Structure 1
Amino acid sequence: MEAAIDRIMMTYDLLLNRSASASAEARVKVTEYVTTLFDGGEKDMNRLTVCGLTYLRELDGSNNPVKAGFTGL
């Protein structure tokens, strides 16, 4: 599980230029989320990584197409 969290944070930090405190806060949140998934039975590191990245991107709004500038027109 720790390997998945490290991989999530390494990838997420490459996607966004964030301060150290924001990165630490994101690590705490994704650790809680991945722990929930792991305790629920998900053991595949690749799936945990993808789910963790998706979770962080939803939190920061980067998965929102409207915020990204896509209006559908």
Structure 2
Amino acid sequence: MNDVVERILNTYQSICPLDAGQAADSRQKISRYIESLASAGQRDTEQLTIYGLAYLTELREGHDSRFTGC
């Protein structure tokens, strides 16, 4: 799963650079999130990458008020 985490971070940082501390914190949080998805049965690395990017975006930029969740 480390390759998925690195792909997520590299993709996010190509759009919005993070300093070393932010990257380390984000890596830890993404790792836990991806591990929880994998333990629930999600194995598709492309889907995990998409979920991870959405998770990181919400962590770093906050909730998008335009999205109602419906």
TM-score, normalised via structure 2 length: 0.84
In terms of mean alpha carbon deviation, does 7-16 or 34-43 score higher? 7-16
Query: SS at the partner of 1:3?
Result: helix
The number of residue pairs the alignment matches comes to 66
Q: Within 5 Å, give how 1:1-73 maps onto structure 2.
A: 1-61=1-61, 64=64
Using the alignment, how far apart are the partners of 2:63 and 2:14 within structure 1? 16
RCO higher in 1 or 2 (8 Å CA, sep ≥ 6)?
Answer: 2
% identity of equivalent residues: 32
Deviation string 1:24-58 (CA, Å, 9 cap, x unpaired) is 10000000000000000000000000000000001
Which protein has the larger Cα radius of gyration, Structure 1 or Structure 2?
Answer: 1
User: Which structure has more helix as a fraction of its residues?
Assistant: 2
**Corresponding letter in the other structure for 2:61:** G
Report the CA distance between 1:60 and its aligned residue. Answer: 1.5
- What root-mean-square deviation, in Å, do the aligned CA atoms of Structure 1 and Structure 2 show? 1.5
**Corresponding letter in the other structure for 2:46:** N
